[in-house]
Structure formats: structure tokens, C-alpha cells
Amino acid sequence: MTAATRHVLVTGGAGFIGSQLAEAYLERGWRVSVIDDLETGDRGNVDPRVEFHEADLRDPATMDLVRKLRPHVINHQAAQVDVRVSVADPAADAETNVVATLRLLHAAVELHVQKFLFASSGGAIYGDPVSVPQDETHPTRPMSPYGCAKLAVEHYLECFRVVHALPYVALRYANVYGPRQSTRGEAGVVALFTDRMLRGDEVTIHGTGEQTRDFVFVGDVVAANMAASHQDELTGAFNVGTGVETSVNQLHATLANVLGDPRPPFHGPPKPGEQLRSVLDGTRLRRAAAVGEPVTLREGLRQTVEWFRAKGR
């Protein structure tokens, strides 16, 4: 089957990551359909060449739409992503992140989908590291209902592969940042810092700022998804990260340098239960799929700042 005849359904395709995936598929000649309820997505992110459907995956009737679309590949990016919401209402989180995904998996089996791609979360499912960087063999010890839901779906994916021969790839993202990231809700720290610094507002770091994360540029996430979509032999769970552990203090200093902002941050009280360390070893996917080396943090921040400035204009 040639790329021109392939049809992908991207759920959450009006969002930060999903909309850029949709464009990457278009660039490769695929037919692209998007389902998004626009709760957090932005219709303005959607390329006019995309077949867009405003629908909620929690509604069982949406599966009728999926069956009518008959995609060859499903790339499932839609999710409830706020950890605080998952803690406050784990049942509602599971309705979106587990039950709706199971309905989509059931439809995928009925349609004989060639591959199911799933946006998982490395930091959320591994929990505090036993060793760093965390590779795919690291123990999975989620510290939130959100992480539990992501891990549960990975188990369901393996079950569907064994029982129904449904090929899948679960991509365990590190902390993704870049153009189009929202500053609403539980937004990424890069988006929040960039927005506040460009506005001339004070930046608040919760706690000491020595808590660490693996910041991966959205372009690298797109590249990982494209590799997983085009290489039939890829299956299972793969980290998508840089392997570079960066503290929040280091992130702020690098971003301030890119922006030329000399003001120091304000340190507020720490967030209760916040994970202190997270860094993912992404070499397995890069070797298996010939994915290039990740974008450096400074270069990724430069591109992010450029987008925020253009958006402000």
C-alpha cells in the first residue's frame, strides 16, 4: 500500500501534538481525518486539508463515525492530561483515558486496522526512578490515577495484540514542549514560563527548582510517531525522550538566556506529591527506527520562543 492510499485517524488532532502529527502525515501524502471535542484543542490548529470531526470519544456514538471513516491507522493522542484532575476525580479520568480508549480499540479490531499508535507517558508510568535514565525495562510505579490509566491501556494494547492480532506501538513521552503548547490548564512549564516572561510577568518556580525532567521537543515526538507509522516491524512500548536530565532551575536559566531576561524567578511552596526526578532513555527507538538525535533544549526553546512571539504579534 502506498502512502497516497493510506488513511490515518488522529484523535485529539486539534491539540498541541495531534495537530502537528496531522500535518506530518499530510506532508507524507496520507489522507488524514481528525476527531477532537475541542475541550482543550484549537480548531485554528487544524490544517484545512484535514477531514475534521468535532466529536467526543466518551460518546459511544462516536464509534459509529470511526467505523464510517474506516482508517488504516489510528493514532490516539486524545486524553485527559491534567494529573490534578485525575487525583480529584479518578473515575472521570478513567472514563476518558481507559474506557473511551477501549471502545476505540474494539472498533480498531472490527475494522482490521493495520496499526494502533498510543500516546503514553514515561514519567507518569515509571514514577520516581530506581535508576536513571529510565529505559523501557524500568519498573512501572505510577503515582497518579493518570499514570495508572496510561499503564492500564498499555496492558490492554498487549492483550489486543495477543488475542486479536492488533499491531500497536505505545510511545512513552517525556515532558513535551514546543510551538502550539497551551498555557491553559495543567500546561507545560516551558509554555508557562515563556508566556509570562514575554509578558514581563514574574515567573514562579514551585519548591527549590531542583526537581528534574526530560524536556523533549515536539518535533522529536512527531518524528517518533512517523517512524512508528511507517515501519511495520515496530511493536510494543518505546520511550520518546532525550536522556538529558534538566532541573527546573536550569530550564529557567536557559530560557532566560534565550529571551535576554535577567530577572530571577520567585520560589513558591512546592506542589504536594510532585515527582522529583524523571529522565527517559530514548535510544531504543532511535536505534530501531533510525530516528535522529533529539533537538537540544536551547534550540527547542529558541523555536518555541519564536512561535510565541509570532503568536503575540
Q: Choose, from 146, 168, 173, 177, the residue flagged as catalytic.
A: 146
Asked whether the beta carbons of 214 and 241 are under 8 A apart, the reply is yes
Residues with Cβ within 8 Å of 147's Cβ and at least 6 positions away in sequence, in order, are 83, 121, 124, 125, 127
Specify whether 126 is catalytic.
Answer: no
- Residue 13's alpha-carbon distances to 62, 102, 178, in angstroms, are 15, 19, 16
Residues with Cβ within 8 Å of 99's Cβ and at least 6 positions away in sequence, in order, are 58
Provide the whole-model pTM.
Answer: 0.96
Instruction: Sheet containing 51-54: give its strands across.
Output: 51-54, 31-36, 7-11, 73-76, 115-121, 168-173, 236-240
Mind listing the pLDDT tens digit of every residue in the chain (313 residues)?
Answer: 445 579 999 999 999 999 999 999 999 999 999 999 999 999 999 999 999 999 999 999 999 999 999 999 999 999 999 998 999 999 999 999 999 999 999 999 999 999 999 999 999 999 999 999 999 999 999 999 999 999 999 999 999 999 999 999 999 999 999 999 988 755 689 999 999 999 999 999 999 999 999 999 999 999 999 999 999 999 999 999 999 999 999 999 999 999 999 999 999 998 887 889 999 999 999 999 999 999 999 999 999 999 999 988 5
